[in-house]
Amino acid sequence: MNFASDNVTGAAPEIIEALSAAAAAGPEMPYGADSYTARAEALMSEVFEKEVSVFFVATGTAANSLSLSQLVPPYGGAYCHEDAHIQVHEAGAPEHYGGKLIPVGGEHAKLTPAVLQPAIAKAVPPVHHVKPSAVSITQASESGTVYTPEEIKALASCCREHGMRLHMDGARFANAVASMGVSPAETTWKAGVDALSFGATKNGTLAAEAVVFFDPADGEEFAYRRKRGGHLFSKMRFLTAQWEAYLSGGLWLALADHANAMAARLGSALSEIPAVEILHPVEANMVFAEWPASTTDELVKQGFVFYAQESEGRSRVRLVMAFNTRPEDVEKLIEAVRGHGAAQAAQ
């Protein structure tokens, strides 16, 4: 009963089947000149309703760092939320490959033009500060919240006003799209996104990430950045066979739908328990809550796994659902929290 992360899971059966078929097939040309990669590239353009420039890599850190390096020069700055994955969990990789990260605040781990505008204004006068070059948003955010197309358009307008580009860290892009019920195009290039780090690893693949540029001209030099970054796989077909299966028939959204539904059920039930406070809107596949530290102790004893931060007798917890989270495990968690609350009240 592991709710620590959507990285703790295995892979969807359809992905394993696709990989097995690719491994058993005959020889293919290396470095992306294979039929699997060609089909995956075509599917990506189909999903986004336009010709896109796509580059497949194996990790989200590589996707974020390399794509930002394309948008941000060494003397440039990329604005992001202070809790963003690129700021907190990537060991400075984006700054290693590109410019400086400039963290700003915002409720529920989301950026708004209201917080961005004064932050960008601090970069004036020029030359003595890094040049404002890009904004990076996380979809879904680190708090499990989702940017609507309207919110993205507002941020894109802010970027255009200052001659900046808009990057989206889409490690949980599938969960965001499934949550809103909009097309992938509506929440990316139609809303003003220039580059997307499209993640699949957290949603049922073994290791499959992609960098998507919505203006193919942005990808003209990127092949060299990917090679220099060590992510041009000789047997690229074992990445792209996953993508072909993932995108075909809407599998990626079906997997995300399940994870989101599990989170919605958990969040709704926990919100009815008096000792529990839901910290952020439950809009994707994560639930953030606060409850007594003794509740955490009891759940750990019962075999539940999750991340918790304790302070003054309270626990702030993150509970993450995945493509294969079992409904019965969610119900057991709900009953365990409810039961501990009832026992505490009776004392």
pLDDT at site 126: 79
Residue pLDDT, tens place only, 294-340 = 999 999 999 999 999 999 899 999 999 999 999 999 999 999 999 88
pLDDT exceeds 90 at position 342:
no
Query: What's the CA gap between 268 and 322, in Å, rounded?
Result: 17
Closest C-alpha among 249, 247, 250 to residue 42: 247
**209 neighbors 199 (Cβ within 8 angstroms):** yes
Directed axis angle between helix 149-161 and helix 113-121, to 10°? 20
Average pLDDT over residues 203-215: 97
Distance CA 159, CA 114 (A): 12
Dump pLDDT digits (tens) for 258-283: 999 999 999 999 999 999 999 999 99
- The pLDDT confidence band at residue 202, using thresholds 50, 70 and 90, is very high
Gap between the Cα atoms of 243 and 36, Å rounded: 9
pLDDT averaged over the chain?
Answer: 96
The pLDDT of residue 343 is 65
List pLDDT tens digits, range 162-193.
999 999 999 999 999 999 999 999 999 999 99
Which of 182, 173, 163, 179 has the alpha carbon at shortest distance from 202? 173
Please report, for the chain, how many H helices and E strands are present, in that order: 13, 11
Residue 174 CA to residue 151 CA, distance in Å, equals 18
pTM over 0.85: yes
pLDDT over threshold 70, residue 345: no
Class of residue 119 by CB neighbours under 10 A (exposed 0-12, middle 13-18, buried 19+): middle
Q: Could you give the percent of the chain with pLDDT greater than 70?
A: 98
DSSP secondary structure letters along 2-19: B-S-TTSS---HHHHHHH
Percent helix, strand and coil across the chain, each to the nearest 5: 45, 20, 35
30-69 pLDDT, tens digit each: 999 999 999 999 999 999 999 999 999 999 999 999 999 9
Q: Which residues of 127-159 are buried (b: 16+ CB within 10 A; e: fewer)?
A: eeebbbbbbbbbbbbbbbbbbebebbbbbbebb
- Preceding amide of 281 cis, omega within 30: no
Q: How far is CA 242 from CA 9, 57, 170, 207, 287, in A?
A: 16, 12, 17, 8, 28
Q: Model confidence over 83-124: pLDDT tens digits?
A: 999 999 999 999 999 899 999 999 999 999 999 999 999 887
